[in-house]
Amino acid sequence: MAPDPARPPARQLTETLGFVATGTALCAEAIGRLDESAFGAETALPGWTRKHLVAHLAANAEALVRLLHWARTGERTPMYASPEQRNADIQAGALRPGSHLAQWFSESAAALDTAATTLPDAAWSAEVVTAQGRTVPAREVGWMRSREVLVHAVDLGTGLSFADLPEAFLTALQAEIRAKRTAAGEQLDPLIGSLADVTAHLAGRGSAGVTTPDGAPAPPLSPWL
């Protein structure tokens, strides 16, 4: 596939679908380690247990299947009926047994994989609308899902860190977060640290290993995603 000069390399579909496969496998492995009590433990995400997070991941896969259906058929099928419905589905999901959630995660991920691998080439350019109201080509689904499965694989809290994520993903994620934070008017001071540590910091997931150029601890940032 020829590079698309209008998009950063990491956003090329073949690469983002590779990120999705990696992140899905990391999540599946992390989820597979959880017994019922571990499923009920809090995550670092405010108000969310691991059950909430797994329900969110599964519902997100189903929502992205709807976007690919939209791209394939032209029939408008939004990710979620409403933000309230999205949240209600996560809350309801968090009441289910962990074994059901694990199955929901794997089945929804497989359905998304099937939807992606069978999508006609031309449909990846069809325009769809995200839950945030952005109109994007369907190929953006690859990047949207990459962020969810890779960042939340760390959020599941079974021992993974940003250093376990693909470097090309971290580079693309950091560029995106910097652009969004800057566009929102935040002043981003220079940061010293590894790619993984600085990206985790910018993603609002701890400042370990990150300092300002004069060696002071990096100031905390507002939450992201």
Binding site for Zn ion (CB under 5 A): 148
Q: Is the dihedral of CA 106, 80, 204, 15 positive or negative?
A: positive
Minimum CB separation from Zn ion for residue 60, in Å?
A: 6
For the bound state, the minimum distance from the C-beta of residue 95 to Zn ion, rounded and expressed in Å, comes to 19
- Contacts of residue 107, Cβ cutoff 8 Å, sequence gap at least 6: 58
Nearer to Zn ion, 43 or 211 (CB): 43
Q: Residue 61 or residue 123: which is nearer to Zn ion going by CB?
A: 61
Closer by beta carbon to Zn ion, 55 or else 191: 55
- Per-residue burial over 2-27, b if 16 or more Cβ lie within 10 Å, else e, is eeeeeeeebbbbebbbbbbebbbebb
Residue 155 CB, nearest approach to Zn ion (Å): 8
- What number of other Cβ atoms are within 10 A of residue 80's Cβ? 17
Judge contact between 160 and 1, C-beta under 8 A: no
Residue 74: how many CB atoms within 10 A of its CB?
10
Residue nearest to Zn ion (CB): 148
The nearest distance, CB 12 to Zn ion, in angstroms, is 22
Q: What is the DSSP letter of 5?
A: T
Nearest residue (CB) to Zn ion, 34 versus 126: 34
